[in-house]
Structures are given as structure tokens and as C-alpha cells.
Amino acid sequence: MSARGLVLARALLLLAWAGLTGAAVAAPPVAPARIDLLSPAYTSQMLAESVYTGFNPKASPTFFQPGVKLAFYGQSRGCPSSATMATSAGAVLSSREAELGKGQPLAAFTGLPAGEEARRRVWMPSPRSEGCAGLSADEAGATPFLQVNATPGQTGLGLYTPSGPDARGRAPQFGPFDAAGQNGRGANAYIAGAFAIWRQPASGPAVQPMWQGVDDEWVIRSSQSIQQLSVDPTSTEDSLAQVKQQIVAVVLNPSCQAERRERPRACQLQYLFHTAIARSAVSDWAKVAWFQRGMVFFDPAQGGMPVVQGPIPPKGQVVNEAASGQALYRSEGEATGHSPFDARAFEVRVPFKAFLVAQRAAVARQLKKAAANVRDDELVEVFGSQWNQPQAWVLLSTSVAQETYNRDPARAAVIGGAVRSLVLSVEPP
């Protein structure tokens, strides 16, 4: 797999598309253009017994409903790659139960405190699944988990995604897919991930708009930390490992869906921003040319979903699209980290004019032509007749996630971190 391909590999994003069916979607009304995804309203949803959780969940009406979704992707020992398993119920943990991993507190894994008993919850995959052979608690190594802390002053989301043996040499129960991948044909091979997804309504009074005017900017602000970021530095090409933490957001054009119901995924565009990344074969990321640029492409693993992905540069710097050299977004906060860090404040700004650049770049890649030669009617074919209208685009979903890519199960690759705030807004430049 190429260096570029490793950065693009992901798990949950197979289920990121809108999944809307039925009647045509009307143009949405305008709602307040700000959403705080770790506000009490959302953290209370996570604490509820009914919060959606899943291991390798399949596309379903429940998954695509608005609300908080928590999902793990990967493979369990003794299970086929395609196995869909339950997760633990997320019951409130006692102080003793909060000591995961043989006496280590939660903060040792993610950097996020456990919080008050009544205001915390932890989820992890459960090996209870027909046809799966589980390991005993003493045999199994570290387990991936998602953690929410709704204690005032400590609010946040913790994520921990290990792969390979733990410090005592024990293999994990859950780890990356093998070479067969998620679908038995190599999709997402060697990938494991933990995802928290906030899914928004695509129509109705609660819809969250993107841009109100052509001069507006879509702004993502997030405070994040990394407690653990470790890959085996002695790997070869056959045992390459990479870990990352990221923000993912999908925007949708409902009027396009109404026009093109047979191709709903083409009416969306996904943004993927790396907040932390480490790779066994890289010691100086400033010298990695492909990581300095943004890429726009149609992702076959998501049924042709257009994706913008790239790093977050230092404050004031712009990320340009690799092929055209035009600006895709800029940073007004701190940069992507490559080692553990505390309370790093990210701010990514996407002007509507840069969003038009992204659409044009995606179609250019699809048609194998220069962006400057893409015609408006070709953009209409993919993104609908209102592709260039700011108020035609709404926020569909936002995720924070961790992923590991690990080709060698005998080597460890681990990431653990926390998200203390995540706010999306529409603002003037």
C-alpha cells in the first residue's frame, strides 16, 4: 500500500453517507448556525441507556437516524472479519470498575479523568457473538474503548485504540481486520477504529445550515489531547504501522438528493482533518511531501463519496489541493501533532469559495481532467443544480475518531486521547 493510501484508509466511513430514502427532501429552513457537540444536551444523550453502540454495525435506518452513535470497527480473535458484535451496555462504572487494564485509571489511557460515577460511561466491544471464540480476561490484552465524562469542568470524550500485544505480551481480543479486510475482499485491511458520531437531521426545523452567504466561512474548533501515541519504529514495509486521531464531517445538499435519488452519495462531501498522526516509517513529517497538501477524491470504499482530507497546518497557513494548487481550507489554531500533547486548540476554517474549489477538484478527479476545465453542467451532474448556493448545504454528521493501521499483529501500535470540546459554526471571515 502506498504512503498516500495509508493516510486515506479508514473504517467507519463506509457508513458515513446519508442513507436517506423515500420522498424527496425539501429545501431546509435556516436554523442557528452554531452547534456544540460536547454540550450538556449531547453528553446527556451519551449517558442514556438508549445510546446507539455497535461493533462493525451494518447500514440501517437506526444507524442513520439523528443522534449520537458510538461504533468500533475491527476484528475479534476467533471471529470472521465480517462478524457484527455487540458492545458492552455502557453501564455506569463504579470506581473499582473504572480501573481498566490491571489497576491503571482511565486517565492513563485517554488523558480524560473518569469523572463522577453518575456522570460517566465507558463502552467497549463485547466478544459475545455467535460463532466467535473469546479470550479470558487474563489471556486478553488491552481493549479499545470509548469514554464519556459529563462531570462539570471535566466534560469530554476519551478514545483508546490499541493493536498488537500489550506490555505483558498478551494479544488483544479485538484488533485490526486481517488481509481479507472488512468485506472479505481487502477493504480496510489491517484497520481498526473507534468512532463517536453526532448525526444531524437533514430536514426540518432542527437542520444545521453550513454557509449563509458566499463570503461566509464554516469553522470547526476543537480542544484535543493525546495521551498515548506509539508505533514500533523498527517496522519494515511488510509490518508498517500508523495511528491517528481525526475530525470528520459530512455536508449534504438535500435539493440534490431530491433531484438525484438514485445517486444520493454524490450529493455529499466529506471533510477529514488529522489532529494527530504517527507512523513507524516517518520521523520528520515536515519532509513528507504528500502530507503537506490536501487531497480531494471519490472514495470507492464509501460508494463514491467525495472526500477532502489533509493535515492541519500551523496558524495562518492554508492547505492547498494537490492537483490544482488552490486553497481548500486554512488553520487559525494549532497544528497536527505527531507525539503526545495536552489541550491543543484546533481551528479549521472553510470559506464557501474554497468549498466550491473542493467540488470542482472532486469532479476533475472523477473525469480525469484539470479542475480549470470542469464545466458547470458537470458539477450539476454530481452535486445538483444548487451546487453553488451557500444555503443549499447542511451539516449531516460530525465524528471524532481514532484509527490504527497495523500489518503485523506481533508489533504494538497504540493511540489514546481525548476531545474536550468540539464546536461548529458559520461566521464571516
**Helix 376-383 × helix 352-367 angle, to 10°:** 90
| Euclidean distance between CA atoms 323 and 154, whole angstroms | 43
In contact, 252 and 355? CB cutoff 8 Å = no
Q: Which of 124, 123, 134 is nearest to 76 (CA)?
A: 134
Query: What is the pLDDT confidence band of residue 80, given thresholds at 50, 70 and 90?
Result: low
Q: Which range scores top for mean pLDDT: 91-100, 151-160, 295-304?
A: 151-160
Say what the pTM is: 0.89
Q: Which of 202, 164, 189 is nearest to 66 (CA)?
A: 202
pLDDT over threshold 90, residue 136:
no
What pLDDT score does 238 carry?
77
| Euclidean distance between CA atoms 375 and 390, whole angstroms | 19
- 262-282 residue pLDDT tens: 665 679 999 999 999 999 988
What pLDDT score does 170 carry?
83
Q: Phi-psi region for residue 169, left (φ > 0), alpha (ψ -120 to 50) or beta?
A: left
Q: N- to C-terminal Cα distance for the chain? A: 39
Report the chain's mean pLDDT, rounded to a whole number: 83
Q: Which of 147-151, 198-202, 326-330 has the lowest mean pLDDT?
A: 198-202
